[in-house]
Chain A
């Protein structure tokens, strides 16, 4: 870097304290960052999905409409009277 571009503001940063950055600390921080980001990446989409479902949107609604035919079929049959049953 030329002397001209190295103004006193840049020299100021030479005097700033630099945090303890040894290998052990770097490894610790990196593993912390990876763990936290893994948690965020794994659970955040699930959390949002849950919130959407709870608010009545998304897959929850789709499931309601996608009920298998036999479910409503059975319910209907329960209400009907079969020929062998006497009417109440």
Chain B
């Protein structure tokens, strides 16, 4: 099979061919397609280039060892991103010893929050959004990226974070609120 025709293969077809032949060329294709995206997610959560390089390698090792278990129920990209977020959040919790992963770990959870309409967040100018995302807690950032950047379903996010779907809905609501208040604090004028 030549390079041009293999490039047209879907992720699922590449996985099937890899599992059948155990030819590392097919795994290299998956690595080429996703390593950049995995790396950029790692760097946005871990904020360290060397750490993100190592994390990308560890994540692909996990993918390599578990590829046979990929059931195809969700998209391959969703599966890859799930492993990535899981790895990064776990790393922040255990190695960086940060307990305040989500804003609810810091702020008063009893306080009722107003619902922030999606368009208010989605229309924030890119450079400003980037700045806002860098000041909110990593867990809040992760749930917002999962929902709005990777289009992951509530169920998928719940699986990644090992929480109930209702807990995830609440985490998203809080994360949106945190992003909005941070935006207003940074850009008062």
Contacts and interface: CB of A to CB of B under 8 A. Distances in A.
A13 B149 contact: yes
A36 B61 contact: yes
Contacts of B130: 12, 15
A19 B53 contact: yes
Interface residues of B, number: 34
A16 B43 contact: yes
B129 A9 contact: yes
A29 B60 contact: yes
Interface in A11-33: 11-13, 15-19, 21, 26-27, 29-33
Given A8-B126, A19-B35, A21-B32, A40 B43 contact: no
Taking residues whose C-beta sits less than 8 angstroms from the other chain, chain A's interface range is 20 to 34
Q: Which of A11, A13, A18, A33 has most B Cβ within 10 Å? A: A33
B79 interface: no
B60 A8 contact: no
B40 A13 contact: yes
Interface stretch (B6-14, B101-109, B117-125): B117-125
A53 interface: no
B65 interface: yes
Contacts of A31: 24
Contacts of B61: 33, 36-37
Given A26-B32, A30-B24, A33-B57, A16 B144 contact: no
